Each structure stands twice: as C-alpha cells, then as structure tokens.
Structure 1
C-alpha cells in the first residue's frame, strides 16, 4: 500500500510540472546529462573490456582442451560460467547500442556474442528486453514479471490458486526456491530462444536458428567427445547452473521488490523508470560483477549510455530526483536480494493460504 501511495503522489507532481509550461521533468535531466558529456561513446573502454572477456574465454577453452578427461574440468566449467555471464552483459550493451551508435555493427556483434557464443537468440532477447524497458514492473506489459513458475504480485498469486502439482508447490515456496531455480535460467534462455524461432516477431529465424544449432553442436560435441558421459553431464550441469545463477544474481536486484505498476496507472517517463528500479551500491568489484547494471535507474533512463558513464550519471540523477522529491532507491547487494526474497514470500501468501 505504501508503494501505491508513492506512485500516486509522484504521478500528480509530474502532471503539475508539465502543466506549468516548464516541459517534462525528464527533459531537464536529459539536458544536464548531455551537457556533462555522458552520452558519448567510449570505444577504448569497450575495446579493453571485450578483449579481456575474449581472452578469458580463449583461456577457458584452452584449459578445457589441455586438462582432458578429468574431474578437475568442473573448475573450468565454473570459470566459464563467469565468462558466459560477462558475455551476456556484453550482449546486453550491444543490444542497447552502448558500444556502437549504428544498428548494423550492434546487431552483428549481438548475434556473434549471443547466438554463437552463448546459444541465446539475440533477436528474441532484444524484443523481450525492449518491452521490459518500456514498462518496467508493469503487471501486464513487462515480460520479466509475467507469471510463469514464479508470481510477482498478490493478484497473480490469487489467479494462480487453482494451479496444481509442481507449479503450486513452487509458488507456495518461491522465496526459498528462487536461487535454486536460477540455476535453470541459462537452459531456459536457450529453450525460449529455440521456441521463439516460430514467432512472427522474429526477423531472421533461419539465420538465428542456424547460429543456435551451430553453437550447441560445437558445445555438446566438444564436451561429450573429450569427456566421459558422467563427467560431461557434470560439466554441463556446473557450467549452465552457475551461469544461470550469475545472470539471475545480476538482474534480480534491479527491480524485484520494487513497486509493481497496475493497469491504468499513469506515470511520466522519469517516474516510471525511477520508482520501479533500484541501484545496487558497491565498489569496483560490484561494477565489474554486474556490468554497470547496478546503476539500474540511470540505465533505464538512458539505455544507450556507455557503462563507464553511469557512475557520474548516478550523482546527477539522484540529486535531481531529490530536487523534485522523487524517491530514489539504493541498496547493498545482499540487502537488495533480501528485499527481493521478502517480496516473493509476501506476494506468494495467497497460494499458501489456499493450501491451508
């Protein structure tokens, strides 16, 4: 209820500002950001970052080939899970045109990183992520909070009370099962990518499908050729499980536990992005681990802003929100996960009550 009150109050403030003839609140923030030069491309940063990730990938593959059929390959699998997470963050930046200003090199890079190196459809993910950015935490419009195995609001939980079997069990205990479920996220991304090839919204299904098949032919072919079946299955489980856990740990703190937007709620762009997002405080290690997505508010306001500019943009944005009286959420990484898990437990209450 408190969250709903905040959304209503700040929405009214935004309307008053626009009616006063001052222009939108976001336009003033955008002017300040532009004057600070924070939207210009940073080719040196991305050259160094992508080179480092590429060398890490090459090193992981080389270690895999040198070690051979041994259980120590599980350490290689764990290291490659981190590399895969960094590749996912690179694909994210390419999709938002943070690296290149033009569409073609961004798409080409995205296809190479996502489809070829990760086994995830660039076109499908970009479509999904664009819809998320347009309406973050909107119950009916944000695909990231669509009820699937997990419900994100009490309304979704009430609608799912008739569910049976595993779906009902997971919904009742979703907070406790959240991190274990994240270990399946890497496989879910690949499965959803293949399923999306039949979607009318997919622009190049043949190309993307071919690249996905090529990825998994090399991935599974190499693993099961070099390793015995038991070790191969263990390698895939560790690699995919930790990869999914990494991605989930990066994306979950940014919006989970923040206000949900119901149908009919009207918010201007600035408030829609700020009120539904959370920044994660930390040092340089947090910046590297989360690929800049710990500055989620600034990223949502300026999606094409290069990663190294986000920290400076955060200072400007937080100060500007304070001027307007707009709540600006910051939290530590552990605290943000704790909030997200508490939210999952609270919204799952109708499912637990229905089983009593």
Structure 2
C-alpha cells in the first residue's frame, strides 16, 4: 500500500486556508467564469464529427472500409463523452436543469452511457480520489490498485492480478461495453433520478445504434464494426482517464489530508500541446480540474502555472509528465501491486 508523506503539511489549524488563498487568486484572475464562446465552438465541432461520422458510415455502405469508419466514430463517441463530463461538472452552463437535459442527450441517447449513474460515480471519485474505501474508480472489481486489495483478492481479480499490467490495454477494449452494461444495471437503483427517462433514452440509443449498423451491413461485417467501434471507444476513454491517477498514491483511512493535498497528491498532469489537450478534453490538466471541477476546460491551461507555483511554495509535490510516461507509471504500478500474487503459487 502506498502511504502519503504528510510531514510537510501545515498544522491542523492552518488546513483549508491553503486552498482558500489559492481559490481567491484563481477567482481574481477570472478563471472560474463560464466560456460560452469556447463551448459553442467545441460543441459544434464535436456534433459535426459525430454526425459526419454517421454520414460517412451511410455513404460507405456495405464495405470493409467500414473498419476505419468504426475507429472514426469511436473518436466521436469519446469526444461526446468528454462533453458530457464537462456538463456534469457545470462547466458549460450555470443552470443545473440545462446541464442535466444536455447531459442526458449526450450521454444516454448519443453514446449509451447513463448520465445520472456516471455523474454519481464520478462525484464520489472527485470527493475522495484514489481512496481505497471511497473512490469507485479504484475498487477491486477486476484490476487491483493496492497491495491490500491484492492480499484480499479472490476469484477473477486474483487470477488477473498476477499479470494485470500486461492485460490492462486488452481489458480496456471491453470498457465501452462495460459502461453500457453498468448503465442499464443502474436503472434498478431507486436512488437514480429520472430512471424512466434514462431508461427510455438508453433503449433509444441501443435501437438506433444497432438498427443503423445492421441495416447497412450484413451480419458478419456488422459484428466486426461493433467490435472495432466499442473496442476503440473503450481504449480511448481508458487512455484518457488512466493517466490522471493510476500510479499515484493510494489513500486509506489513515491518511488525513486537507482538500488541496488530497486532490494534488493523488493527481497527475500530462504534458502536451494542442493535440493532447484536444484528445484528452483538457483532462491532462487533472490537478487543476480536481481543485476547481467547475472551471471551464479552456481556463485550465491558464490556471496551471498559478497552481503549480503555489504548490511548490507550499512544498506540495506537483506531478506532471508526458503521455507515454504517464501510461508507463500506471503500468509499473499495476505490475508492482500484482507482485505478491505472482510470488504466491496457490
């Protein structure tokens, strides 16, 4: 288990004031304000990519050239999902009702992902990132994220845990399907708001999606298209979210950290230019996003030098590296967590 060193944290009475001072500085720079122009352009581009992808699909028709079209649509689906992410955080609109309606259309109807279920799951992740007991993103469902989880693992997680670093990317090919299955399972929860609406929109997505594919393609090509599309969609999302926290410290109940340190020490930024920013939907500025989740994506880049310099002034580690290096750190962490299982022959 990774234990975070809190020796440089301020005294108990000072906790909270560090983030408050940073928050005031960020507000003074106007970085918490909405960016309607930016999102108008981004939404138009993503909608064009999504609609254009399906138009190309219809034009190509019964052809093996549908395989690259499946990859193109996987990119479009991922970009729509990233927009739904921003809607869930209130980055686009101040109106919760507007954000929810748009989120349901983008998530449930467009890509088949339950907006309400994902929003609840993601909110719990933001509240306690990389926390063994509270962050659903590091629960030992299939992969193991700490030595404690490895010791307690049984069944499939224990079997896969021995070689989980090598299985990580292959397993991501199933993530798109997993998200859809989890979305439909969530409909059974009474706590899920507007279950009937969510269910109708999810069903509408499935009918339209499968209907379009099987209407244009014969069964064999249709199944190949679905496999390639969902596999690429899952890998894209996994490669977008995994670099942000995997391989960073895993917290337990013993780690008492204030808000700023809890968010910064468990997050990692990914360096890159415009291409990386666009591909990852701004989530490469993960530290800034976790500190200010409602901040529009376009402002995260401007907030970064302020946050980085402030963390350095406090002696708080601020992690950032390239995209490939972030994947490498995540894989090395997974491999190290599975080491005890490889050493035990049972």
Report the equivalent of 2:25: 32
Report the Cα offset of residue 199 of structure 1: 1.1
Q: CA RMSD in A?
A: 1.2
Structure 2 gap segments, 5+ residues each: none
Report the Cα offset of residue 264 of structure 1: 3.0
Query: In 2, distance between residues paired with 1:33 and 1:67?
Result: 49
Report the equivalent of 1:182: 172
Counterpart contact for 1:10–1:271, Cα < 8 Å: no
- With 77-86 and 197-206 compared, the bigger mean Cα shift is at 197-206
Query: In 2, distance between residues paired with 1:47 and 1:288?
Result: 15
1:120 aligns with 2:113: yes
Query: In 2, distance between residues paired with 1:283 and 1:10?
Result: 32
Query: In 1, distance between residues paired with 2:339 and 2:12?
Result: 35
Aligned match of 1:343 in 330, 333, 338?
Answer: 333
Query: In 2, distance between residues paired with 1:139 and 1:48?
Result: 39
SS in structure 1 of the partner of residue 176 of structure 2: helix
Report the equivalent of 1:138: 131
1:9 aligns with 2:7: yes
Query: In 1, distance between residues paired with 2:297 and 2:307?
Result: 15
Query: In 2, distance between residues paired with 1:10 and 1:253?
Result: 26
Report the Cα offset of residue 31 of structure 1: 0.3
Report the equivalent of 1:273: 263
1:200 aligns with 2:193: no
Report the equivalent of 2:290: 300
SS in structure 2 of the partner of residue 9 of structure 1: coil
Aligned residue pairs total: 346
Structure 1 gap segments, 5+ residues each: none
Partner deviation per Cα, 1:9-57 (whole Å, 9 max, x = no partner): 144x252534xxxx61100000000000000000010000010011111
Report the equivalent of 2:274: 284
Counterpart contact for 1:185–1:248, Cα < 8 Å: yes
CA separation of 1:244/1:14 partners in 2, compared to 1, >3 Å: closer, same or farther?
A: farther
Counterpart contact for 1:14–1:25, Cα < 8 Å: no
1:75 aligns with 2:68: yes
Query: In 1, distance between residues paired with 2:191 and 2:254?
Result: 26
> Structure 2 length as normaliser, TM-score?
0.98
SS in structure 2 of the partner of residue 39 of structure 1: coil
Counterpart contact for 2:289–2:300, Cα < 8 Å: yes
Aligned match of 2:217 in 227, 231, 235?
Answer: 227
Query: In 1, distance between residues paired with 2:92 and 2:4?
Result: 39
Partner deviation per Cα, 1:142-194 (whole Å, 9 max, x = no partner): 0000001100000000001x42xx54331111000000100111100000000
1:327 aligns with 2:317: yes
> Structure 1 length as normaliser, TM-score?
0.95
Query: In 2, distance between residues paired with 1:201 and 1:176?
Result: 37
Counterpart contact for 2:67–2:228, Cα < 8 Å: yes
Query: In 2, distance between residues paired with 1:175 and 1:226?
Result: 38
SS in structure 1 of the partner of residue 309 of structure 2: helix
CA separation of 1:189/1:10 partners in 2, compared to 1, >3 Å: closer, same or farther?
A: farther
Aligned match of 1:249 in 217, 229, 239?
Answer: 239
Report the Cα offset of residue 101 of structure 1: 0.9
Query: In 1, distance between residues paired with 2:11 and 2:33?
Result: 28
Report the Cα offset of residue 5 of structure 1: 4.9
Query: In 2, distance between residues paired with 1:346 and 1:297?
Result: 24
